[in-house]
Amino acid sequence: MSIVLGANQYGKAECRLVRIDRDTPRHRITDVSVTSQLRGDLEAAHTVGDNSHVVATDTQKNTVYAFARDGLGAIEDFALRLGRHFTDSFDWIDGGRWEIEQYSWARVPSGTDGYDHSFVKSSDEKRNTVVTIDETGPTVISGVSDLVVLNSTASEFWGYPKDRYTTLKETTDRILATSVSARWRYLSTDLDFDKVFDDVRSIMLDAFASTHSLALQQTLFQMGTQVLEAHPEIGEIKFSMPNIHHFLVDLEPFGLDNPGEVFYVADRPYGLIEATVKRDDVPDAGHVWATVPGFC
């Protein structure tokens, strides 16, 4: 038996980058956080501190900013461009992982179209992508996080098994609230990623709102199914959805009823529902999902 180096990767994380497109007086803003991580023949760095194969994380950072000079485009395309650069430029780098998180801004309102060069941060929701390159080539997994949604009715929960430790009361009308984290795997890399993202987001919102829910699992599965039905270029989608509990406050001690109106919102503990929805003929991609933490 000997002790050896296993899977490894390294790079620069969370390069905060704002790009202003100012070719016309009507500016556009792109606001992202970019992480670049390389894989390859890096054993000597670990075993003897030989850095001759270690493309410095500082160099990776510089490359991110330099590449932004030509514009970013969709975050998926920018990540692919970075990935191809590093794997093409260094013989011993044969793969890696490029992750980008994007923050959204709206124009400050003015007349019909808003100001030309003034912006206000919109939702806390983030769009993201993880591009992995390995011996099978690049794989693009994109997603959204912190998409917080709530149905104030049309949610039930009953019919679950009861045991010695069960005290929960069944209900046919509750608040259903969650913060959607979703990630979907594209089956190709030649796509209009911005357009697909907008549509996937819309479908998920619509499915959440229009599903009369008997379980958060059912809502999740509807969201995934409707995305896959509309987008053949997506092979599978994973969700991690906390059940943010809104407990109906018992106002009876104060001589008041509470017909579904006043709720206490709990921080912890929370339910946590995670599942994959996929096409049954799509090959497994466990090795790329391993780079995307937080989903089962």
List, by residue number, the catalytic residues: 12, 57, 245
Is the CB of 140 or the CB of 176 nearer to its own copies? Answer: 176
Beta carbon of residue 192, minimum distance to its own copies (angstroms, whole number)? 21
CA distance 152 to 169: 18
Is the CB of 190 or the CB of 229 nearer to its own copies? Answer: 229
Is the CB of 34 or the CB of 74 nearer to its own copies? Answer: 34
Which residue in 3, 41, 240, 229 sits closest to 128, CA to CA? 240
CA distance 75 to 126: 12
The residues pairing with 247 across neighbouring beta strands, listed in sequence order, are: 264
Beta carbon of residue 98, minimum distance to its own copies (angstroms, whole number)? 12
Beta carbon of residue 189, minimum distance to its own copies (angstroms, whole number)? 21
Q: Are strands 176-186 and 137-151 parallel, antiparallel or unpaired?
A: antiparallel
CA–CA distance from 8 to each of 112, 140, 175, 228, 289 (Å)? 51, 20, 44, 33, 15
CA distance 158 to 214: 8
Is the CB of 112 or the CB of 167 nearer to its own copies? Answer: 167
Backbone phi, psi, residue 105, to 5°: -125, 150
